[in-house]
Amino acid sequence: MFDSRQFQSILHQLMGRRQFFENIGSGIYGAALASMLCRDAYGEIEADSTTSQGSRQTFDLAPRRPNFEPKAKAVIHLFMNGGPSQMDLFDPKPELDRRHGQSYFEKIAGEVESPGSGGALMRTPFKFAQHGQSGMWVSNAMPHFAKCVDDVAMIRSMHTVNLTHEPALYHIHSGRTIPGQPSLGSWVTYGLGSESANLPAYVVLDDPLGLPVNGTQSWASGYLPPIYQGTRFKATGTPVLNLDREFDEPDEVTNAERSLIGRLDRLHRSRRPGQAQLDARIASYELAARMQLMAPEALDLSQETQQTLEAYGIGDKITDSYGRRCLIARRLVERGVRFVQLYIDSQIWDTHDHLQTELQKACDRTDKPVAALLNDLKARGLFDSVLVLWGGEFGRLPIAQLRGGDESVTSGRDHNKNAFTCWMAGAGIKAGTVHGSTDEIGLMAVEDRVSVSDWHATILHLLGLHYSDLYYERNGLKEKLTGVDQARVIKEILA
C-alpha cells in the first residue's frame, strides 16, 4: 500500500502542476457534459413530478394531473392509411360535375406527385345526399356513417405540408415530416400516464394484411423514453404473444416468483441509473406479468352479445377484421387504456386508379364497424369521455389520374396536400357541425383552414393539456408535439 507522500511523489513524476490542473479542468468539463447528456436523455428535474407540464425526472405510466379539467379521458384514433378522397366522401363539388373533362392539369402541375399521369377535372362517381338533423353531406359510399352525422364535427379545411406518403404520415402522427419523432399517442401518455395498471397506456391495433408504408414508426416514442411507445395487439389469434404462463402453478407461487424478480430488477436498476432502455424493459416485463390476468379478459370478444358482434360486422368476411379491432378498442378504453390507434391494411385509401371500385372497397371494410363503435360508445355511456378521431394523412386531387385502359373505369386521383377532410366525435365535440371549406373544385382549403398543428393542439386541449406546456427538454430545446409552429385550438368545433 502507498502512503500519501509516496502517492504525491508518483503523481509528481507522472505530471507537473500545470498538467494536473489541465486534466482536472477536463474532468470538470466532462462532468458538465455528462450532466447535460443525462438531462437530455431524462429531462429536467421538476419540483412537482406529478404535473404533466414539461419534462420531469420520473418516467412511468402513473396517472398525472392535466393542466386543466379535461373533456376526454381516452382517445380512439381511426387512422385511414393512404389519404381518403374528400370530394368523393364528405365534400361534394357540383362544379366538378359541370366542368367534368375540362383541362386543368397545367394549372396545378406543381401540386401533382405523378405529373406524367395527370388528366382533366373528374366528377365523383358517387351520389351525395344530406343526412340527419344537421343536414351534413355524405356520399352513398358510407351508408352507415351517414346515420351518425349528428354525432360528429366534420373538418373540411385540413391541409398538410407534403404530398408524399412517408413525410405526410410522419407529420400527421408526430408533427414533423421526418422519422425519429414521438408520436401523438406517445405525447399523450407521456403527459397523462395511464388509468390502468394492468394494460398498456397506448395500444396499436394494426392490420394483419399490412403495415403503413413507414412501418411501425407511426407509433414510435422517438426521443421520449421508450416506455411511451405504442404496444401492438393482434386482432386475430393470440392478441399478445408470449403472454400465457408456460405451465400451470398456484397463484401464490407465481406471485412469490414475481416479487423476487421485482426485487432483483430494482437492485439491478439501482446500480445502473440513467438507463432509459433498461427502465423501459423492466417496466415492460412488469406490465406483461400483470397483463396475464387482465389482457385475456379485455380481449375476449366471446363475452359480447351476438347482437353487438353483428353490429360491428364480426363474422362477415369483409368487415370482420376491422370490426374486431373497433370492438377491442371500445373494450380497452372501457378498462382504462388512454390511447388506442387503429390502422387499416397498407394503403387501401390510396386510390390512384379504379377510384369507384377501390374507394368503395375501403368504405365497405370500415363503414359499418366505425358506425357501430360510435353507437356502442353512446349506449355504454362512454361517448362523453372518449374522443374519436377519423382521417388520413392527406386528401386527393380534383383531376383524374390516368393509368390506361378505359379511363371512365380505370382513372383515380393523385395525392393532395392542400385539402383533406377529417372528423372528430365524442368528448367535448360540438356534434353535427361542419368547420371550414375548400374552393369550388376541392383543390385548396380556403375558409377556416386547419393545420396539422391546430389539429394536434385541439386533441391535447380536449385531454386537458395545453400544447405549449407539454414539452420534453432535449439538447437545450423544449421539444413539443406542435414544434415551433403557431398552433391554435379549433374552438369552433368544441361544445
pLDDT tens readout for residues 328-362: 999 999 999 999 999 998 899 999 999 999 999 99
Closest CA to 383 of 421, 341, 334: 334
If asked whether residues 335 and 366 sit together in one domain, one would say yes
C-alpha to C-alpha distance for 337 and 357, rounded to whole angstroms:
36
SS3 199: coil
If asked whether residues 387 and 473 sit together in one domain, one would say yes
Lowest mean pLDDT among 86-100, 223-237, 450-464: 223-237
Residue 61 covered by a domain: no
Residue 398 covered by a domain: yes
Residue 363 covered by a domain: yes
**Exposed, middle or buried by CB within 10 Å (0-12, 13-18, 19+), for 45?**
exposed
Share of the chain above pLDDT 70, in %: 81
C-alpha to C-alpha distance for 87 and 354, rounded to whole angstroms:
15
SS3 224: coil
If asked whether residues 187 and 284 sit together in one domain, one would say no
Confidence band, pLDDT 50/70/90 cuts, at residue 36: very low
pLDDT at 279 over 80: no
Pair 64, 49: CB distance under 8 Å? no
If asked whether residues 119 and 17 sit together in one domain, one would say no
Query: Taking CA 350 as the corner, what is the angle to CA 209 and CA 188, rounded to the nearest 5 degrees?
Result: 70
Task: Give mean pLDDT, residues 51-65.
Answer: 69
pLDDT digits (tens, 9 = 90+) for 178-227: 999 999 999 999 999 998 888 899 999 999 898 899 999 999 999 998 88
Residue 62 covered by a domain: no
* Domain of residue 23, residue span: 4-42
If asked whether residues 229 and 316 sit together in one domain, one would say yes
If asked whether residues 113 and 220 sit together in one domain, one would say yes
CATH of the domain at 321: 3.40.720.10
Q: Which of 298, 320, 344 is the last residue of a domain?
A: 298
Pair 156, 90: CB distance under 8 Å? yes
Task: Tell me how many domains the chain contains.
Answer: 3
If asked whether residues 285 and 369 sit together in one domain, one would say no
Task: Give mean pLDDT, residues 80-92.
Answer: 97
In what helix (H) or strand (E) does residue 420 lie, and over which residues does it extend?
strand 420-426
Residue 346 covered by a domain: yes
If asked whether residues 201 and 154 sit together in one domain, one would say yes
If asked whether residues 150 and 293 sit together in one domain, one would say no
Lowest mean pLDDT among 159-163, 207-211, 396-400, 412-416: 207-211
Residue 289 covered by a domain: yes
If asked whether residues 199 and 108 sit together in one domain, one would say yes
Q: Which of 278, 298, 318 is the last residue of a domain?
A: 298
If asked whether residues 424 and 446 sit together in one domain, one would say yes
If asked whether residues 387 and 258 sit together in one domain, one would say no
pLDDT at 131 over 90: yes
Residue 52 covered by a domain: no
Confidence band, pLDDT 50/70/90 cuts, at residue 9: low
Residue 51 covered by a domain: no
